Structure 1
Amino acid sequence: METVTSADGTTIAFDRVGDGTAGSVILIGGAFGYRTFPKMVRLSEALAEGYGLTVINYDRRGRGDSGDTPGVYDVYNEIDDIAALIQAAGGSAALFGLSSGAVLALRAAASGRVPGITKVVAFEPPFVVDRSGHVPPADLDVRLHESIAGGKSDKTVRYYMTKAMGVPWTMVTAMRVTPFWKKLRAVAPSTAHDWAVMRQYVRGERLRAVDWSGVTVPTLVVAGADSAALVKNGAKAIAAALPAAEHRELAKLGHDPKVEILAPAAGEFLTRARH
C-alpha cells in the first residue's frame, strides 16, 4: 500500500499494480466499492498483466485505508484526490471509472483542474436521463446525511441502495443475511460522496453537451447488453454529449461486470495509439 495527500490534507491509499510501459490508469470504483474488493483486484491484474499498464487501484475517501472528511461532501475534493494520484503515477494517467466512479472520472476530466488525464473509460455511468425508471428524490442528501451522522450504517446502506440506486427492497433484504452486508456497512458513510458526484445528473433530465465540453481526451463509454434500459440509456446519452467519445455495448455483460469481458475492451482502448 502507498498513500498520497490530497489538497485538503486527506490521506488517500492506493495499490500500484504492474510496472508496464503502456502507461498508467487509475481505477475509480463506484458506490460501496473499495480497492481490495475482489473484482477491482482482478481488473487491476488483468490490465497490468494483459496490456502492460501500470494500474493505480485506490480507496476513494471514506473507504478502506483512505481518510475522510465527515460532514463535508464536495465532488471537487474527490477530483483533487484524482489529481494527487496522477502526480503519484508520474504526472499522466488515464481514468477508468465504474458506475458512479465513471461519472467522477468524467467530471474530473471536464473540470479543468486535473492536468495529465490522457484518456477516460466510463463503464455504465448511471446517469438518469428520462423518467422511464427510478428517479432518486432531489432531497435525498438530507436523510442520507442524518443517517450517516447518527452512525446508522444499516439504515444508510438500505436507504442509499433503494432510494439512490433503485435496488428493490427484496434484493436489499436478501443481502442483509449474507456475509457481504458487513462490508457494505463498513463503507456506508462514503455514499454521501457518491451522492455529491451524482445528484445533479439523476433528475430524469437530458444531459447538456455544454457541461461536458471540457472532456477533450478520447473517451470510451461501455455498457452491458444485459443491463437495465435505464443504465444503457444513460451510457448512450453521455457518449452523445461528449466531444470525443465512442460507445460500446458488450454482450453477456451486466452492471456487475465480468472482468474477462470488460478488461479486453478497456485494455485495447487504453493502449491504442492516439492519432
Structure 2
Amino acid sequence: MDQNISSRDGTSLAYESAGRGATIVLVSGAMSTGATVAPLAAPLSERFRVVVYDRRRRGASGDTPPYAVEREVEDLAALIEATGGEAALYGVSSGGALALRAAASGLPVRQVAVYETPYAMSDEDLAGRARYTERLAAALEEGRRGDAVELFLQLTGLDDAVISSARQSPMWAGMEALAPSLAYDDAVMGDGSVPREMLASIRVPVLSIAGDASPAWMRQAARAIAESAPRGAYRTLEGQTHMVEPDVLAPVLAEFFSR
C-alpha cells in the first residue's frame, strides 16, 4: 500500500489505486487484507479506477478503539472522498456485509456487488453463529489468538485435521496477527441473519453473486440479499466456490459496474 488517509476518528488507512475511470473500492472479508482482493484489481483497472485498502487493524492500516461498525463505514466514506467523491463497492464474504451497510448508510455509492456474504439461513446456523460470537469474544479477551483463529476456521467448515495442520504451518503466525479483527467482521455480520430491513433501504443497484459449486445455503443467502434489495439482482458463477477465481469474477463485475 503506497498511500494513506485518515478516517474520521484519526485512524490511518493504507490504500492503493490503479487504472482510470469511475472508482470501485474493493472490500476484503475476514482474516484478510487488501492483498487478498488485489488480484481482482488488475483486470478491473483496465476500465475503472480500482481502490484496494487494508481495513482497520489489518496490514498497514491502524486502529483506534473502541471498535464500532460505524467506524468502518466512516473509513469507506474517507476513501471515497479521497478517490473521487463517488464510488461503486465490491465486497467479498463478510466484506460484502460492510459494503451493503455502507450503501444503506447513504454514502455516495453508485452500485454494490457482493460475493457470498455468509448470512445464516436456518435457526441451527443462527444458533451456531451466536455460540461462535460468545466463544470468539472469550478467546480474544483472554489473549488466545490461536484459538480465535481456530474458531473461525471451524465456522467456515474446515475439519479438525486441516486446522491442526494449519496450526503447524508458517502462515499461522500471520493468521494470529489478524485474529483481533475477527471480532470486527463478527460485528459487521450482526446476528448473522439476512438484514432484510436494512437491505430494503438501499436505493442503488445491488448484484449478489454466488458460485454454483458452493454450499446451497450460500447460494440461498446470496439470493435472499438480491430479493431484499429493491434493485437487487442475483447471479451464479459456474464452477466457482467461495474462493472465486478473479478472472471469472472480473468480467461479471465489469459488466455490472459499466451500467
TM-score category of the 2 structures, normalised to the smaller one: over 0.9
What is the distance in 1 between the residues matched to 2:142 and 2:10? 25
Q: Deviations over 1:60-110 (max 9, x none)?
A: 11100111235x231111111111110011100000000000111011111
Paired residues, number: 258
Partner of 2:120: 128
Give the C-alpha shift of residue 210 in structure 1: 2.6
Structure 2 contact 145–179 (Cα < 8 Å) conserved: yes
In the alignment, structure 1 residue 47 sits paired with structure 2 residue 44: yes
What is the distance in 2 between the residues matched to 1:185 and 1:208? 30
* AA in 2 matched with 1:2: Q
Give the C-alpha shift of residue 152 in structure 1: 2.5
Partner of 1:184: 175
- 192-201 or 55-64: bigger deviation: 192-201
What is the distance in 2 between the residues matched to 1:45 and 1:108? 24
What is the distance in 2 between the residues matched to 1:152 and 1:224? 34
TM-score, length of structure 1 as denominator length? 0.87
- Equivalent residue in structure 1 for 2:247, among 257, 260, 275: 260
TM-score, length of structure 2 as denominator length? 0.92
* AA in 1 matched with 2:115: F
Instruction: Flag the 1:140–1:110 CA change in 2: closer, same or farther, 3 A.
Output: same
Partner of 2:59: 64
What is the distance in 2 between the residues matched to 1:230 and 1:168? 18
Structure 1 contact 224–253 (Cα < 8 Å) conserved: yes
Give the C-alpha shift of residue 267 in structure 1: 1.2
Partner of 1:4: 5
What is the distance in 1 between the residues matched to 2:132 and 2:11? 26
Please give the residue correspondences for 1:97-246 in structure 2 after superposition, counting only pairs within 5 Å.
Answer: 97-112=91-106, 114=107, 116-131=108-123, 135-138=127-130, 140-163=132-155, 165-202=156-193, 207=194, 209-246=196-233
Structure 1 contact 136–166 (Cα < 8 Å) conserved: no
What is the distance in 2 between the residues matched to 1:73 and 1:10? 11
- Equivalent residue in structure 2 for 1:78, among 72, 75, 96: 72
Q: Give the secondary structure class of the aligned counterpart of 2:189.
A: helix
Structure 1 contact 73–192 (Cα < 8 Å) conserved: no
Instruction: Flag the 1:17–1:149 CA change in 2: closer, same or farther, 3 A.
Output: farther
Structure 1 contact 133–230 (Cα < 8 Å) conserved: no
Consecutive unaligned residues of structure 1, counting only runs of 5 or more, are none
Structure 1 contact 103–197 (Cα < 8 Å) conserved: yes
Give the C-alpha shift of residue 11 in structure 1: 1.1
Percent of counterpart pairs with the same letter? 36
- 146-155 or 82-91: bigger deviation: 146-155
Instruction: Flag the 1:75–1:208 CA change in 2: closer, same or farther, 3 A.
Output: closer
